[in-house]
Amino acid sequence: MASMIFILQSQDIRTSYGMVSNPNCNLVTKGANLHGFDLSNCNLRGFDLLGTNLLGASLTNANLAGANLQGTVLIGADLSGANLINANLAGDNLQGAVLSGADLSRANLSIANLAGDNLQGAVLTGADLSTANLAGANLQGAVLLGTILSGADLSGANLINANLAGANLKGAFLTNTILDSKTITDHDTITIQTLGSSLVPGSTYTISPDPKTGLGSLTITDGGAGDEDGISDGMIKISQVPQGRYVINQVSIPSGFLSLLGSTTININPLNLDQTVTFQVIPAGTDLSTLKPTPITSPSLSNTTFNQWTRSFFATIVNNVNSRIITNVDQTPQIIVVGTQNSMAIETAINSQSSVLLNASFAPLTKGSAIINTMGLENYSLPDSTNVVSIIPTIVAKINNTTDYVAATPPLVGIIPGQEMIIPITDSLLPSFGGLKEIDVQSSTTAIPIGEKNKEWLVAEVDRKIPSSINSRGIYGTPLFFVNIQHPFEESGSGFNWSDPSNHEVPPLLTLAINKKTPNSIQKDFNNCPRVDAYTFVDDSWTSVGVGEISSRSISLSQCEIIIQSQHLSKFAFSLHHFSSLTLFGNTSNTVSTGIVNPPSYLAEAESQSSTPLTSNQSTTPSTISTTLNTTQSTPNTTHSIPAPSGGNLLQHIAQLNPLQRFSDFFTCIIGIKHC
């Protein structure tokens, strides 16, 4: 009998069987240090346990309903069978805690750390686990009905037999997550909308592969067989769609409408079970040249790209208003289309376009195809019209983890001959030294791509110095920065050849951001902007023929925007234009600072390449002198005019002209042929 009495005196045995109350329960107060204490069966309903240390404590079968456990240390605690209904555990570190069988219904576990925890059979109905760390957690058989798991890290977690019906998994990380066929319900849907100012009935689409068989393709018409509502209402709905990648092509739309999107790709995955894809159309009588800015649907990210962007590259989508972290596969930047004659709307669209910033790095002169493949976007589609301008988003990454950068377009399903494309980089992503901020190109209406033409792209690398494998022969002064614009034809000889001037309807334009603060030896124009010398790389050396500055404007107290016109896309180098001194007629006391560096080389170079002359057409009015590069093609209407200098300022006058004209004007002035 004595031994029996001794056993009953054991605190653990007595409390475990509920024979007496657990006296340790009386020790529980806010902020108390209860490291390793046995608090099993304690009734702590509604307790404020803010900051309490429960490291390694036993809370088996405890009643913690409605308790405030925020900031509580629960590492290694045993909460199996505990009642945590409506408990607040937001931000807690529960790593190593045992929660098997616990009832966490409607508990707030937002941002909590549950990595590696045992939650087998736990009830988490309606709980908030948004952005919680559940990596490697055991959730086998857990009840997650309606649980908020948006942004949660479930990578490597065991979700076999877990019930996730109605759970919100948007933005959750599911890399290597262990799932089975019962885990995610197979009630995924695709809804295709044909949208003008309102829904437009009667369109037909194909979906590849066929979501019912996984093979071939399915052709489906609004209101026809396969459209589950059976109504021609502008929406086609298909349910019971297996997860995976689907390409949707528009086959036909009702007469009286024009389409802005012909094809796109969607990704049905656990985070995006119900997908709605919109195909934009406009009335056929619409004057497309005056179209307002219209974003068109962009393709979804693949699972592989999404995981890489969110886990490795920490992708952020940025525009001139805000930025946001990418958390779902549909969060891709869209092409914006605008009418060619709607100049104000074009500016608005450029300023509102987004770039994606990836925390990725590439070596200098990395092949464009390697960069495009690493970025991993699906093909985008352009509207089939030359009456619109397509404003293309960019994806931006670093060069060797420096402030040098690479900016790429998404891959495009072909180029529309004659369509202008403007490719801006969001201002806030440009480094302090400035750089390339926009490319403006328009393909020729008669240009024909060579060979395979289903994947076009442009990649621009911007470095503060010319890579060591490329010489700087022909460049005067220190290069300000180097720009390498790549396209598929350069690598494979297939696709659209942007290196051929005849493939451009008008000469392409590069917009640069240049800092105003420069040495006194640098020549400036009337906008207080440094004059920029531009060069292209030809036959293993640099030349200024066929490329040069056509306009400038001050965009802030510290920076200018300089527009450079070229005849094609290539490798470019830019330097600042220096003053130099020339002695007049042997008189050593009289010098004129002209900005002319080496006139004879200009003459020789221009003469040797007379097939691509660089001259100046000067049109003088009482208030302005407009300068352009006179190539064999017309100059885009985006060229700005530069205010005229005062009549007595020879230096400022010749600064507006190209090198050959500056040389000519200077000597005709000083020998009296021309009045200056």
Which of 100-109, 121-130, 586-595 ranks highest by mean pLDDT?
Answer: 121-130
- Classify residue 272: in a domain, yes or no: yes
Residue 631 and residue 490 share a domain? no
Residue 275 and residue 308 share a domain? no
- Name the burial class of residue 645, with classes exposed (0-12), middle (13-18) and buried (19+) by CB atoms within 10 angstroms of its CB: middle
- How does residue 672 score in pLDDT terms, banded at 50, 70 and 90? very low
Find out whether 57 and 34 touch, Cβ atoms under 8 Å: yes
- Check pLDDT > 70 for residue 569: yes
- Check pLDDT > 70 for residue 595: no
- Check pLDDT > 70 for residue 674: no
Whole-number pLDDT of residue 3: 41
| CATH number of the domain within which 223 lies | 2.60.40.10
For the segment 97-114, the average pLDDT, to the nearest whole number, is 78
Strands 355-362 and 394-399 come out as parallel
For the segment 300-310, the average pLDDT, to the nearest whole number, is 91
- Classify residue 200: in a domain, yes or no: yes
Domain boundary among the residues 506, 529, 564 is at: 506
Looking at the structure of the chain, the number of domains it has is 3
Whole-number pLDDT of residue 453: 61
Pick the more confident residue, 602 or 395. 395
- Classify residue 216: in a domain, yes or no: yes
Domain boundary among the residues 454, 484, 506 is at: 506
> In Å, what is the CA distance from 471 to each residue of 546, 566, 571?
20, 21, 12
- Check pLDDT > 50 for residue 597: no
Residue 339 and residue 240 share a domain? no
For the segment 596-610, the average pLDDT, to the nearest whole number, is 35
> In Å, what is the CA distance from 135 to each residue of 115, 126, 660?
5, 20, 67
Whole-number pLDDT of residue 1: 40
- Check pLDDT > 60 for residue 56: yes
- Check pLDDT > 60 for residue 337: yes
For the segment 212-238, the average pLDDT, to the nearest whole number, is 92
Q: Which of 255-269, 465-479, 501-515, 621-635 has the lowest mean pLDDT?
A: 621-635
DSSP class per residue in 58-78: B-TT-B-TT-B-TT-B-TT-B
Helix H or strand E segment including 385:
none
Whole-number pLDDT of residue 580: 58
For the segment 504-522, the average pLDDT, to the nearest whole number, is 94
Domain boundary among the residues 286, 319, 348 is at: 286
- Classify residue 291: in a domain, yes or no: no
Amino acid in the structure at residue 486 = Q
Residue 442 and residue 328 share a domain? yes
- Classify residue 666: in a domain, yes or no: yes
Write the CB contacts of 376 (distance below 8 Å, at least 6 apart in sequence): 301, 302, 304, 305, 308, 309
For the segment 604-615, the average pLDDT, to the nearest whole number, is 36
Residue 388 and residue 489 share a domain? yes
Q: Which of 22-36, 268-282, 481-495 has the lowest mean pLDDT?
A: 268-282
Count of beta carbons in the 10 Å neighbourhood of residue 591: 12
Whole-number pLDDT of residue 441: 98
- How does residue 66 score in pLDDT terms, banded at 50, 70 and 90? confident
Cis peptide, bond prior to residue 599, ω within 30 of zero = no
Whole-number pLDDT of residue 675: 43
> In Å, what is the CA distance from 363 to each residue of 408, 435, 439, 461, 480?
15, 18, 22, 10, 19
Residue 479 and residue 336 share a domain? yes
- Classify residue 62: in a domain, yes or no: no
Residue 398 and residue 440 share a domain? yes
Residue 428 and residue 329 share a domain? yes
Q: Residue 442 and residue 501: Cα distance in Å, rounded? A: 11
Q: Residue 212 and residue 304: Cα distance in Å, rounded? A: 24
Residue 469 and residue 437 share a domain? yes
- Classify residue 541: in a domain, yes or no: no
Residue 281 and residue 307 share a domain? no
Find out whether 399 and 473 touch, Cβ atoms under 8 Å: no
Tokens of 494: 């297939």
The pTM of this model reads 0.68
Average per-residue pLDDT for the chain: 81
Nearest to 462 by CA among 482, 433, 490: 482
Domain that holds residue 373: 303-506
- Classify residue 206: in a domain, yes or no: yes
- How does residue 12 score in pLDDT terms, banded at 50, 70 and 90? very low
DSSP class per residue in 657-668: S-HHHHHHHHHH
Residue 366 and residue 472 share a domain? yes
DSSP tag of 308: I
Residue 438 and residue 496 share a domain? yes
Find out whether 63 and 81 touch, Cβ atoms under 8 Å: no
Tokens of 348: 């608005």
DSSP tag of 503: G
